[in-house]
Structure 1
Amino acid sequence: TNLKQDHSRDKALKLENVKKVHAKEIEALEHKEKGGSHNETHDTIEKLKELHEKEKREVADGHMQNMDVTRKEHMEAQKELEDMVARMAGERDAMNSLQEKLEKEKLILLSEHNETMETAIADREAAQRLVKA
């Protein structure tokens, strides 16, 4: 009976040790799972941070592209305005030149008219003298 008791006690101790080992293994697995879960959470947070940074860069790049487009449009509008001002200045110069030309022609015509009138008056006076004579 002592042998049976010793054997039973040994079995119980072995079973107890196995239970302790299993409990420690389960605890280690649970801790690992928690750690794994923690690591996964940490990895997910890191991925989200990377995505956020990427989005910020894309927004900044998009903003810079928009700024480039706006700057280009502004430069095109500025060039168009400068061209229009130059064209208007050219048209003004052409109009001033035309006005000067018209003034000269007007003076020439007026001068010719005066000469014609003087000649006509002289001819009429001569004709009247002939009629009186």
Structure 2
Amino acid sequence: MRRPREKSKREPTIALINIVFLMLVFFMVAGTLAQPLDRDLKLIRTADLEGRAPPDALVIAQDGTLSYRGTQILSADAFLRRQEHLAQPDIRLIPDRDLPAQDLVRITRALRGGGAGRVLIITERGLE
């Protein structure tokens, strides 16, 4: 009598190929497929324009001082007292680029703890 031949234990490569194919299809569908910009298009350069804060934004200087509409504010609580007519105001912050992150977090926490609804940080956005 002949002994039955043992089956070789191979990895199921078909299943792996199916998974990779499904992932490929998923990322093709879920990914953003945007048209590239026309190569002849020249975007407007704003590097030479003077930056101005929106009128309803709280500006934080590099040294941590606060100002609102050109007036210096002593603290986040003093700013919130000016906003008492709003239930939970959304606060827009414009921090200086060189402001230490610890100061930004401290001021943001003070605003949230004082009753601000949302604290939105306005930043510069570049397209290059």
Fold match (TM-score > 0.5): no
TM-score (norm 2): 0.24
Q: Which of the two has greater helix per residue?
A: 1
TM-score (norm 1): 0.23
Q: Which of the two has greater strand per residue?
A: 2
- From the CA coordinates, give the structure whose radius of gyration is larger: 1
Query: Which has the higher relative contact order, 1 or 2, with Cα contacts under 8 A spaced 6 or more apart?
Result: 2
